[in-house]
Structure 1
Amino acid sequence: MQGIQYIDRKTGALCEERPPAEKYIRFLYQSPLGKLPLELLVRRKFLSAWYGRRMDKEKSAKKIADFVAAYNIDMSEALRSVEEFENFNAFFCRKLHPSARPIGEGLVSPADGKLLAFEHIDELRAFFVKGQAFNLKRFLGDEALAERYAKGSLLIIRLAPHDYHRYHFPYAGQAEEAQQIMGRYYSVSPYALARNFVKVFCENKRAYSILKTADRGDILLAPVGATMVGSIHFSYPPNAQLEKGQEMGYFAFGGSTVVMLLEPGQFELSADLLENSRRGMETAVRMGEQIGK
């Protein structure tokens, strides 16, 4: 069974990712027989809430060591050791040493994950996944706001369950209080995205905050929840001056995504990210890594 291919940015090598519960996710999103349980159960909030509560229980800490070993997670980056986490959720949203994610020049990635970058949102239909255009109006639930970014740039950072699950500000500025957009809980697995791209991003639970910068316009940052994610957490002080790389928030257990919208002409996105995305390939990035100038 073929995994999901992506580009290692440092080496340029083609790599393969196999998500946890791969066979289960393939069944739900690629098999006609999987559609019934998907619609009746997986997208429902109660399942995510139930599983999220399980990951808060003390006995869930027993899963951590095996998870770390299975996905070769570098725990030397974390502030706490495996034995110190009280439950799996505490491990999942673990904090890292500041030196583990140096903050680069220009525009930086807000999170660890696999990134897709598009310079012009209004041209997405020409090369995007399964020919589906990204629908800003449906995603934001705000026609005026969608129009504001309609000719701007779009970046999508998909976090796998074994990634670092805190997200940060990609540039300095002042961020407004987050606005919640209620939705369901579809998986953000690559298998789900390939088949249900518009549904995953425009119907999942999500929120957004607008970061007002001094010299590069307003950056919209939108964390998107997913199957088995009980909630999206914000940890920044609204309307205060924020440094580039400062923590914005974190996800509870599950795979998740951060969507970033840039106003037209404010940033020049990195050429390698744009080229890989034109080819339909995600690029592995880390929080703090330069993605534009």
Structure 2
Amino acid sequence: MEPIRYFNRHSGAMETEQVYGEGFLRWSYGNPLGKISLEAFVKRPFFSKWYGRRMSTPESAARVMPFIEKYGLDPEDFGEAPESYRSFNEFFYRKLKPEARPVDAGDASVVFPADGRHLGFERASDIEGVFVKGQKFDLPSLLGDEKLAAKYADGSLVLSRLCPVDYHRFHFPAAGIPGETHTIEGPLFSVNPIALRQRLAYLWTNKRTITKLETKRFGTVICMEIGATCVGTIRQTFTPGRTVAKGAEKGYFAFGGSSTLTLFEPGKVRLEADLVENSARQIELYARIGSRMGRSA
């Protein structure tokens, strides 16, 4: 199978993704025996909880430095020294120094909610090529609400995919007042392109959480987190009903790759050109949290 390529906004170049656990992923989603294992065990929440517990033991802290070295992470960005993490999971959902992720200061801008590889579309109802041509978003299934889906069908949608090597806290794309988080239970399939090329519907069958963010300039923004294999926890750290700043922390994922999804009302946001142009070619755009995702239309 072909490698996963994306365009890095910060380096200005096409890059190849280093896939954590690539052999297991390709076996699970591409081999007949692997698919049996996937359905019987891997997709089920107990598997991810079991793996999450392994990553939370004191013994797992020995994995931290080899991981940093293998994937070229910069400890200067970390909020704590690498040796201070008491488990691999504690390192995995680490905080960063504020200066490591500056937030775009423009009043009219919205920012990426997470470090990751992003796909952006101006009209959610027109999405037909995601990882493989012909795959369409099923917005009613994604949101679990047909009326809500109709309201956002012609709005902008951004899917942000986090790899295990990424910073795993997610943030608010704009200033506003967030409501309570609603959880839709489901299995935990991988959200890596290796899996999504097989079946995009994993995005709207997996466990996911939905929060509505009321903003002055951008209307009601839907902020969604999508769980995935080996993500034992989606934890919200904000306080519902309390005003948040653009780029403020919303929560974090425990161990594993995962995704966030941001959805805007029609006519409220115009996405950045590099995001739209790459997405139209089915190429993800790598960008960090706080960099500009779009601006008011």
Q: Same fold (TM over 0.5)?
A: yes
Separation (CA, whole Å) in 2 of partners of 1:31 and 1:18: 21
Aligned to 2:95, what secondary structure does the other structure show? Answer: coil
- Checking the alignment, whether the CA contact within 8 Å between 1:175 and 1:238 is kept in structure 2 is yes
Structure 1 residue aligned with 2:252? 250
Question: TM-score normalized by structure 1?
Answer: 0.97
Q: Which residue, 139, 160, 165 being the options, matches 2:163?
A: 160
Structure 2 residue aligned with 1:77? 77
* Letter paired with 2:291: E
Aligned to 1:197, what secondary structure does the other structure show? Answer: coil
* Letter paired with 2:263: L
Aligned to 1:170, what secondary structure does the other structure show? Answer: coil
Which structure's residues are more often helix, by fraction? 1
Separation (CA, whole Å) in 1 of partners of 2:279 and 2:70: 28
1:45-84 alpha-carbon deviations (Å, 9 max, x no partner): 1110101111111110000010000100111011111110
* Residue 123 of structure 1, CA deviation: 1.1
Aligned to 2:252, what secondary structure does the other structure show? Answer: strand
* Residue 128 of structure 1, CA deviation: 3.3
Separation (CA, whole Å) in 2 of partners of 1:11 and 1:251: 26
Query: Post-superposition, which runs of at least 4 consecutive aligned residues in structure 1 deviate over 2 A?
Result: 127-130
The answer to whether residue 274 in structure 2 is matched with residue 280 in structure 1 is: no
Separation (CA, whole Å) in 1 of partners of 2:89 and 2:229: 15
Structure 1 residue aligned with 2:91? 91
Separation (CA, whole Å) in 2 of partners of 1:2 and 1:122: 28
Structure 1 residue aligned with 2:49? 49
Q: Matches of residues 90-129 of structure 1 in structure 2 within 5 Å?
A: 90-104=90-104, 105=106, 106-125=109-128, 127-129=129-131
- Checking the alignment, whether the CA contact within 8 Å between 1:120 and 1:153 is kept in structure 2 is yes
Structure 1 residue aligned with 2:226? 224
Structure 2 residue aligned with 1:28? 28
Q: Which residue, 177, 180, 186 being the options, matches 2:180?
A: 177
- Checking the alignment, whether the CA contact within 8 Å between 2:131 and 2:193 is kept in structure 1 is no
Aligned to 1:91, what secondary structure does the other structure show? Answer: helix
Separation (CA, whole Å) in 2 of partners of 1:81 and 1:169: 26
Q: Which residue, 267, 272, 289 being the options, matches 1:270?
A: 272
Separation (CA, whole Å) in 2 of partners of 1:251 and 1:10: 24
- Checking the alignment, whether the CA contact within 8 Å between 1:114 and 1:283 is kept in structure 2 is yes
* Residue 276 of structure 1, CA deviation: 0.2
* Letter paired with 1:115: H
* Residue 291 of structure 1, CA deviation: 1.1
Structure 2 residue aligned with 1:261? 263
* Residue 33 of structure 1, CA deviation: 2.7
The answer to whether residue 189 in structure 2 is matched with residue 186 in structure 1 is: yes
- Checking the alignment, whether the CA contact within 8 Å between 1:179 and 1:207 is kept in structure 2 is yes
The answer to whether residue 9 in structure 2 is matched with residue 9 in structure 1 is: yes
* Residue 231 of structure 1, CA deviation: 1.5
- Checking the alignment, whether the CA contact within 8 Å between 1:3 and 1:18 is kept in structure 2 is no
Aligned to 1:146, what secondary structure does the other structure show? Answer: helix
Aligned to 2:218, what secondary structure does the other structure show? Answer: coil
Separation (CA, whole Å) in 2 of partners of 1:81 and 1:188: 30
* Residue 2 of structure 1, CA deviation: 4.3
The answer to whether residue 153 in structure 2 is matched with residue 150 in structure 1 is: yes
Separation (CA, whole Å) in 2 of partners of 1:27 and 1:18: 17
Change in CA separation of 1:18 and 1:2 when aligned onto 2, cut-off 3 Å: farther
1:80-112 alpha-carbon deviations (Å, 9 max, x no partner): 111100101110000011111000131100000
Separation (CA, whole Å) in 1 of partners of 2:240 and 2:165: 29
**How many equivalent residue pairs?**
291
Percent identical: 43
Unaligned runs of 5+ in 1: none
Q: Which residue, 198, 205, 215 being the options, matches 1:213?
A: 215
Structure 2 residue aligned with 1:60? 60
* Residue 32 of structure 1, CA deviation: 2.5
Separation (CA, whole Å) in 2 of partners of 1:74 and 1:228: 24
Aligned to 1:208, what secondary structure does the other structure show? Answer: strand
- Tell me the C-alpha RMSD between the 2 structures: 1.0
Separation (CA, whole Å) in 2 of partners of 1:110 and 1:272: 17
